[in-house]
Structure 1
Amino acid sequence: MALRNAVLAALLEGEASGYDLAKGFDASVANFWMTSPQQLYRELERMESDGLVEARVVQQERRPNKRLFSLTEAGERALYDFTAEPARPTAIRDELMVKVQAVDRGDEAAVRASVAERLEWARAKLARYDRLRARLLDGLTEEEYLVRAERIGPYLTLMRGRALERENIQWAEQALAVLERRSHAPAPH
């Protein structure tokens, strides 16, 4: 999947500056798409030259002018076409999993520390997702929200991100317990 599709989907929320999109990616889209602000700005420029987004300049006092991007009809068509394509499963490319795979011949303490760091990262991310969920629901039950909300796509992706982080927490806790038990067990003969 191209970054452009994630940007097109993010712009469904409405007009946004590159800065706003970068913050939004961090808060809501990061559960399924990671990018740097530099990549995002370069992609917005390409998308503008391809006619998928348009930008308007907003004059600001005491700050540099900002450009607000919005979808064009061509951008909406491109996003529609993207959603019509079959989705291919993604492969996990996770450096931590390679380290865990090699733990038996590697630095077990360093691997344990990496797993513990991932555990804390997942807990923090889940807490952010839970705060976002509470803001989206705004006092409604999940069922009420899913019936009444104008757009449910952001909530459905948030649900997936929360499930992924809960699973990351469960796996990391289990992996740390196994590694801890083995560090105190007698060596196999």
Structure 2
Amino acid sequence: MALRNAVLAALLEGEASGYDLAKGFDASTANFWMATPQQLYRELDRMAAEGVIETRVVQQERRPNKRLHAITPAGREALRQFIEEPAKPTAIRDEMMVKVQGMDAEDAPAVRSAVAERLEWSKAKLARYERLRVRLLDGRSEQAYLGEAERVGPYLTLLRGIAFEQENIRWAEFALSVIDRRIAVGT
């Protein structure tokens, strides 16, 4: 999947600046698509040149001018074509898993540290996702939200992100218990 498809999907929520998109990616889209701000800004320039988004400049006092981006009809069509393509299965590419795979007794403390760091990161990310879920539901039950919301895709992807981080936490806690036992006995 290209970054542009994730950007087009994000712009379905409405006009946004590159900064807003980057923040949104970090808060919600990051559970299924990661992008650095630099990648995002380069992609926005390409997308504008292709005509799938339009960009307008908002003059600001005491701040740099703001560029706001919106999806165009051509962008909606490009996203629709992407949606209609069969989705490819995902593969996990996780540097920490290579470290865990290659761990021996000597490496266990370093790997333990990496897993503990990932655990804290996953807990923090899960907390952010839960706060976003509360904001999306806005006092409604999940059933009511799913029945009333104009677009349920953002909520469904958020639920996937929540489940992903919950599993990361479960795995990390288990891995830490195994590593701690191995360190304690010196193997």
**Counterparts of 1:115 and 1:185, CA distance in 2:** 19
**What amino acid is the match of 1:50?**
E
Cα offset, 1:61, TM superposition: 1.2
**What amino acid is the match of 1:85?**
E
**Counterparts of 2:186 and 2:30, CA distance in 1:** 42
Partner of 1:160: 160
Partner of 2:10: 10
Cα offset, 1:67, TM superposition: 1.2
Task: Give the unaligned 5+ runs of structure 2.
Answer: none
Alignment of 1:63 with 2:63, yes or no, is yes
Partner of 2:97: 97
Q: Percent identity?
A: 71
**Counterparts of 1:186 and 1:136, CA distance in 2:** 48
Cα offset, 1:183, TM superposition: 2.0
**Counterparts of 2:122 and 2:159, CA distance in 1:** 15
**Counterparts of 2:42 and 2:84, CA distance in 1:** 26
TM norm structure 2 = 0.97
Question: How many residue pairs align between the two structures?
Answer: 187
**Counterparts of 1:151 and 1:97, CA distance in 2:** 35
Partner of 1:112: 112
Partner of 1:176: 176
Cα offset, 1:185, TM superposition: 3.1
TM norm structure 1 = 0.96
Cα offset, 1:174, TM superposition: 0.3
CA shift digits 1:23-48 (9 cap, x unpaired): 11111101111111111010000000
Task: Give the unaligned 5+ runs of structure 1.
Answer: none
Query: Which structure 1 residue ranges, 4+ long, deviate > 6 Å from structure 2?
Result: none
Which range moves more in the overlay, 26-35 or 104-113? 104-113
Cα offset, 1:105, TM superposition: 5.8
**Counterparts of 1:82 and 1:186, CA distance in 2:** 52
